[in-house]
Structure 1
């Protein structure tokens, strides 16, 4: 019987160790720099937005939008240019002074979609006129229309389920094969 108890205890320790160390996958790209910098106050409007990530961005399906304080979109095209870790888009000459939001959706190195945004404030109004606006059915780059994608990686529940299965197998093996003669105390 002592051998059975040892198996059960060993399986329990291993199972709890697996559950305790389970963490979500964290291989998604992370925005590490932007031009203009996040939160910057600038007096001259940029003609291009650059977003720099910590890993190479896969080409295709990458979008960048620039929304002004007037809620108009100012990017020339939402199809972004990818050069290694840098994703860029050109913008129309900006108009009103105020906060601009740069929304992005990129295809991460691990194949998952990563979304986010940065902001900058134009302190002096530009001379740009409101450009033609995209159709209402186009998804915004910050991902509000694509709730199926996630930025969080693999959930923890498969690790917990796996640990529970291993624990059950360990207990079963311990009871089944660890028995022995229990009358000799």
Structure 2
């Protein structure tokens, strides 16, 4: 003989509260990794300044970030107006929050692009680029050095692991909430 169970209104209310609790727990679990993501480093200033126009080339390029950098995981390059000629000379250096590289005497007038890549305090890679314009040809215009730098393949839009984990938790929480709100199966 089959028994038919009819849930009392108090039981349905308890099931709804359980479902709401599961949803709130899932949302809270997704916010914890998000708080860590807010620790990404960001650029505070640069020399030469972004989108600036300068008459003479700088002796070095300096990028200043909002916090100390890990010197083992940084890159900095400077490309000329042709998009290929590499103007940074020697190794880049890290001093606290500053990333810098010496620059060869710049060549032709035009737009120079500086590419960088660092690792934030939270371990997330941060990369970007900016440009400045040299308004007068520099002493390096006659003999442009050969290209030695490769463009960075990393993207700032890479989806970090924590976002995938958060999505999985949301889906799992939704399934649990749906099962709780439906109540026991009636066979």
Return 5+ residue gaps in structure 2 as ranges.
Answer: 1-6
Alpha-carbon contact 1:8-1:170 (below 8 Å) kept: no
Question: Paired residues, what number?
Answer: 169
CA deviations 1:90-134 (Å, max 9, x no partner) are: 110001001100000112222222110011000011011312431
Q: Determine the structure 2 residue equivalent to 1:74.
A: 87
1:54 lines up with 2:61 in the alignment: no
Alpha-carbon contact 1:8-1:171 (below 8 Å) kept: no
Counterpart secondary structure, 1:131: coil
Alpha-carbon contact 1:7-1:170 (below 8 Å) kept: no
Q: Determine the structure 2 residue equivalent to 1:5.
A: 12
Return 5+ residue gaps in structure 1 as ranges.
Answer: 177-185
Which contiguous aligned blocks of 4+ residues in structure 1 show a shift greater than 6 angstroms? none
Residue pairs, 1:88-103, within 5 angstroms? 88-103=100-115
Alpha-carbon contact 2:18-2:180 (below 8 Å) kept: no
Q: CA RMSD in A?
A: 2.9
Partner Cα distance (2:104, 2:22) in 1:
57
Alpha-carbon contact 1:64-1:80 (below 8 Å) kept: yes
TM-score of the aligned structures, taking structure 2 as reference length:
0.75
Question: Residue 171 and residue 61 in structure 1: after superposition, are their counterparts in 2 closer, same or farther (change >3 A)?
Answer: closer
Partner Cα distance (1:95, 1:52) in 2:
25
Q: Determine the structure 2 residue equivalent to 1:180.
A: none
The more displaced of 92-101 and 23-32 is 23-32
Partner Cα distance (1:131, 1:153) in 2:
37
Question: Residue 171 and residue 69 in structure 1: after superposition, are their counterparts in 2 closer, same or farther (change >3 A)?
Answer: closer
Q: CA deviation at 1:167?
A: 4.3
Alpha-carbon contact 2:115-2:128 (below 8 Å) kept: yes
